[in-house]
Amino acid sequence: YSICPWRERILEGLLGSSIIGFHTQFHANNFTESVDRILESRIERADAAISYGGQTTLVHAYPISIEWPAELLARLPAVEECRARVRERFGLPANVKLCVGVERLDYTKGIPDRFHALDELFTRYPEWLGKVVFLQVAAPSRGTLPAYRQLHEECLRYAEELNQRYGSETYNPVLMLAEHHSQEQVYDIYRAADICMVTSLHDGMNLVAKEFVAARDDEQG
């Protein structure tokens, strides 16, 4: 940020506010450090306050929330019915652990790294083969950009490689759904899953973990 030609103006503009909110404390700390380094200001770290130009600004982290209880929960069937429906859709036996990942198809989400982790799991602990299936729901995003098209192809290729390496005629360890789903369909999958993986490499605020827990009313997951 220090090489930005308008660094002072940007900070001064933000400091015209009474309160500045960031997704995470890490980002709030970065902002405070930038002000301390670039502007002549007084910083009260105990109060998370910055005084500049006769104005005092509070800098805090305000993690975004989700709707809870979600209205659509009242329209969804019981967890056991969701589990049966999702497992029937994908042909999964009742005794298989269903692990899910739900996000946009974006390079910040760490989807290839997740596949690599599954590769390591099956290599080190082959006893899990046939006992766990990973379902990746990845909504296509920014498909006109070459980097995102490349990521899409990489994820599809990696999923197919894992299925060829560890699968059989009756078992595929990875199910890749690169398509859009409604919120109701996503909650249906949340309620059917045993595990939800959130492995973002760099994200402003990821709500999947909160949504997964909020989608359950069986104290599981």
The 3 state secondary structure assigned to 82-116 is HHHHHHHHHCCCCCCEEEEEEEECCHHHCHHHHHH
| Predicted model pTM | 0.79
Tokens of 140: 């296509």
Structural domains of the chain ordered from first start: 7-61 (no CATH), 71-214 (3.40.50.2000)
For the chain, counts of helices (H) and of strands (E): 7, 8
Q: Show pLDDT as tens, one digit a residue, over the chain (221 residues).
A: 889 999 999 999 999 999 999 988 999 999 999 999 999 999 999 999 999 999 999 999 998 888 776 777 778 888 889 999 999 999 998 889 999 999 988 888 999 999 999 999 999 999 999 999 999 999 988 878 898 899 999 999 999 999 999 999 999 999 999 999 888 889 999 999 999 999 888 776 778 888 898 888 787 76
Residue 197, pLDDT score: 93
| Cα 205 from Cα 213, distance rounded (Å) | 16
Residues in contact with 12: Cβ distance below 8 Å, sequence separation at least 6, in sequence order: 39, 52, 53
